[in-house]
Amino acid sequence: MDRIRPHTLSGFMELLPESQLKFEKIADTLKRVYSLYGFTPLDTPVIEGSDVLLAKGGGETEKQVYRFQKGDNDLALRFDLTVPLAKYVALHLNELTFPFKRFQIGKVYRGERAQRGRFREFYQADIDVIGDGKLSIYNEAEIPSVIYRAFTELGLDRFVIRVNNRKILTGFYAMLGLSEKSGDIMRTADKLEKIGADKVRAILIDDLSVSSGDADAILAFMAIKGTNAEVLSALEAYRGKNEVFDLGLTELSAVTRYLAAFGVPETNFAIDLTIARGLDYYTGTVYETMMLDHPEIGSICSGGRYDNLAGYYTDRQLPGVGISIGLTRLFFILEDRGLLNPELKSAPADALVIPMTDDLEAAAGIATAFRGAGIRTEIYFEDKKFKQKIAYASKLNIPFAVFLGEDEIKEGLVALKDLETGEQEKLTVSEAAAKVRSALEKLGTGKPIRE
């Protein structure tokens, strides 16, 4: 028979079992944290009509979209989880209760140029709060708490949530009479950390024709740093010159006011006036999250406030705030840099029952009892030498083996072996189950990330 070479497409992550279990643990942690804040799970189709998905049209994204015909239908694969959310909310307006808080962890598709660490199919893990007409600023204030809890529960400690407000930037540039150039200026200022103040100044003056005085004013503004209180106080000096700025400053103050009550330490939070976020639709608070020891990775969790989620589908005003974690890329980076906790449970089972007799009655009974006690239990059925059976357990890091020979069966006991310590005991089935369960409470309870 002619054989086809099995292969997985480039840009598509496919994990081996051990890594997959770690990935699942990360995804489960995010689900749990998102749920703790009252976000409800949502699942939308991977395929949508191209008219729906590309309602906005144009831009880099459209070129990357997987789009195709099936019968008479012009179809496309979703390239993010925000457009499907917009469609969902517009479609189900009268069936939803607002504010509508949903999380979605799902695959999205972008036909980017394939390169190491870039994916064409990748998971996003998003939360959004959508208001009907209005949405309180305090939803924006709670977001850093979700980010903080998500990453600390994943095991990350050395990260900072950077926050800014687009209205502050918009208002500031209006003060200087630079509103028309503000988009270009923001994109330039966004590079401050990467290329330094001198180069930013040069681009502002040479490429964007900003006056030397204004360039200095911009750099002075961007240089405002310090504790939240210090930054807010420095910003107060600009108050009263522009209404949009003033509103932005009031919002930023509100967002930082309850950080402590929301459990976010100041060390994990910073107001950062250089942050603008590329997307046009953010209108208020914007968020980025940086790993302190890996700034080269860029933001691992970003988002912000927008005034109108679904303008392409409905005339109902739907303001919202949301964040997104690029889960596949994050996982790739964590694994690549050795930041995944090696002690994290990676075995497919907690116990391997190894029958030593032809009759499997006792083995089946014990496995059934263990499973009833919540122990993930596999029976080794294959006809192999004893050594190979044990090798199977140890290859898969299964922590316990249960041996069942003639003697044990006669006595109604099992031989339970802790494969790490090598310790072996004869116990009743319920004693053995209790012992495994108590060991499991300690095993594999670590967090997915270890810095």
Smallest gap from Cβ 33 to a copy of itself, in A, equals: 9
Rounded to a whole number of angstroms, the minimum distance from the CB of residue 55 to a copy of itself is 4
- b/e sequence 52-64, b meaning 16+ C-beta within 10 Å: bbbeeeeeeeeee
The two beta strands, 302-306 and 282-291, are antiparallel
> How far apart are CB 59 and a copy of itself at their closest, in Å?
17
Candidates 30, 78, 81, 88; binder of a copy of itself (CB under 8 A) is 88
Shortest spacing between CB 54 and a copy of itself, in angstroms: 9
Residue pair 291/158 in contact by the 8 Å Cβ criterion:
yes
Pair type for strands 47-49 and 73-77? antiparallel
CB nearer to a copy of itself: give 100 or 159: 100
Binding string, 395-434, against a copy of itself, x = CB under 8 A? xx--------------------------------------
Nearer to a copy of itself, 177 or 374 (CB): 374
Does 371 bind a copy of itself (CB under 8 A)? Our answer is yes
The answer to whether 442 contacts a copy of itself (rule: CB under 8 A) is no
Kindly report the number of other CB atoms within 10 A of residue 174's CB atom: 16
Q: Of the candidates 212, 227, 368, 428, which one interacts with a copy of itself according to CB under 8 A? A: 368
The reply to whether 381 sits near a copy of itself by the rule CB under 8 A is yes
269 binds a copy of itself (CB under 8 A): no
Residue 310 is a binding residue for a copy of itself (CB under 8 A): yes
Q: Would the CA dihedral through 340, 341, 343, 345 be positive or negative?
A: negative
Query: Is the Cβ–Cβ distance between 21 and 89 less than 8 Å?
Result: no
Which three-class secondary structure string do you get for 192-236?
HHHHCHHHHHHHHHHHCCCCHHHHHHHHHHHCCCCCHHHHHHHHH
Residues 331-360 that bind a copy of itself (CB under 8 A): 348-349, 352, 360
Give the β-pairing of 159-165 and 282-291.
Answer: antiparallel
Please identify, using beta-carbon distances, which residue of 302 and 377 lies nearer to a copy of itself: 377
Residue from 90, 401, 414, 415 binding a copy of itself (CB under 8 A): 90
CA dist., res. 347 & res. 420, Å (int): 13
Check residue 55 for interaction with a copy of itself (CB under 8 A): yes
- Measured from the CB atom, the residue of 275 and 379 that comes closer to a copy of itself is 379
- Do 256 and 248 contact (CB within 8 A), yes or no? no
| Window 107-126: residues binding a copy of itself (CB under 8 A) | 107, 109, 111, 121
Residue in 198, 382, 423, 441 binding a copy of itself, rule: CB under 8 A: 382
145 lines the binding site for a copy of itself (CB under 8 A): yes
Least Å distance, CB 135 to a copy of itself, is 7
List Cβ neighbours of 189 (8 Å cut-off, separation of 6 or more): 200, 218, 222, 274, 276
At a CB cut-off of 8 Å and minimum separation 6, what does 370 contact?
Answer: 351, 353, 377, 402, 429, 432, 433, 436
